[in-house]
């Protein structure tokens, strides 16, 4: 049985990946993972491919053990893993607070690595991993400091893991989009009172981000910047961080 696993699947980019995979790819099952069971079940009803709903909080080690047990029992071939689960908070460190900052690290870093490690033994030649990072990974961002740092970790992890997997036929793609306007990220990220980021100009749409990144993964790109602004950001990230942060200071006040 050849399956795809999508985390962060209940909404936004994760749900869009499910839709496009269902339309364009052939898998025996899609395993969709998120905390909100009702939303996952609604998505499953609209999906032609057989779906296994796994309502899990992947920051919980017990839930990850449950996923490990299911994998060990069924022993599928995982053709595609998309780690789309993630969260962000906008604001100063004292507005966000340690609880939210640590939650970002647990989900964006720890959970992504843990799920990848669980799934890798079930991958074969031709299997693919997509880690959903962010253009924030390319530089430090005041007002998004922990979020940007967590995505930088995930980008570096993806690049290193991809190198370790050379010769196995398993490919890793770090997906680094710009703001995505039609997901829950921006409303959730702005829940603090901070005006650290006032506007989100030229934001991408989830449909194009999913389509471009799926293609990039298929052809084997180690890093995908699915849009003009994140591509420019990647190119100019050769500039010293101090200069980039001064530029960001102006942009975020627009």
Match 């003009």 to its residue by tokens: 228
**Cβ neighbour number for residue 81 with a 10 Å cutoff:** 26
DSSP secondary structure letter of residue 183: S
Query: How far apart are the C-alpha atoms of 115 and 120, rounded to whole Å?
Result: 9
For the chain, list the strands marked E by DSSP.
Answer: 2-7, 29-34, 50-55, 77-83, 128-132, 171-175, 223-224
DSSP letters of 120-141?
GGG--TT-EEEEE--GGGGS--
**Catalytic residue of the set 151, 157, 178, 206:** 151
Q: Is 51 helix (H, G, I), strand (E, B) or coil?
A: strand
Pairing verdict, β 223-224 and 171-175: parallel
**Catalytic residue of the set 17, 147, 157, 178:** 147
Is 25 among the residues known to form the active site? no
Is 151 among the residues known to form the active site? yes
**Residues 22, 45 contacting (CB under 8 angstroms):** no
Structure tokens at 154: 């995930």
Return the active site residues. Answer: 147, 151
């Amino acid at each position: 049985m050849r399956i795809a696993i999508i985390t962060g699947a209940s909404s936004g980019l994760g749900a869009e990946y499910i839709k496009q995979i269902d339309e364009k790819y052939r898998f025996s099952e899609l395993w969709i993972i998120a905390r909100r069971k009702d939303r996952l079940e609604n998505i499953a009803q609209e999906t032609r491919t057989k779906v296994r709903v796994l309502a899990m909080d992947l920051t919980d080690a017990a839930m990850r053990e449950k996923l490990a047990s299911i994998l060990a029992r069924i022993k599928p071939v995982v053709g595609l893993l998309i780690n789309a689960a993630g969260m962000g908070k906008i604001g100063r460190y004292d507005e966000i607070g340690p609880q939210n900052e640590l939650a970002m690290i647990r989900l964006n870093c720890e959970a992504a690595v843990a799920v990848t490690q669980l799934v890798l033994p079930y991958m074969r030649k031709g299997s693919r991993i997509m880690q959903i990072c962010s253009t924030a990974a390319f530089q430090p961002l005041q007002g998004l400091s922990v979020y940007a740092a967590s995505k930088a970790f995930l980008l570096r992890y993806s690049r290193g893991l991809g190198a370790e997997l050379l010769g196995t036929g398993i490919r890793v793609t770090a997906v680094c989009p710009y703001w995505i306007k039609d997901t829950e990220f921006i409303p959730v990220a702005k829940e603090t009172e901070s005006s650290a980021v006032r506007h989100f100009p030229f934001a991408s749409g989830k449909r194009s981000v999913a389509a471009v990144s799926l293609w990039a993964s298929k052809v084997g790109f180690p890093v995908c910047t699915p849009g003009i602004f994140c591509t420019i950001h990647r190119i100019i990230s050769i500039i010293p961080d101090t200069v980039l942060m001064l530029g960001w200071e102006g942009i975020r006040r627009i």
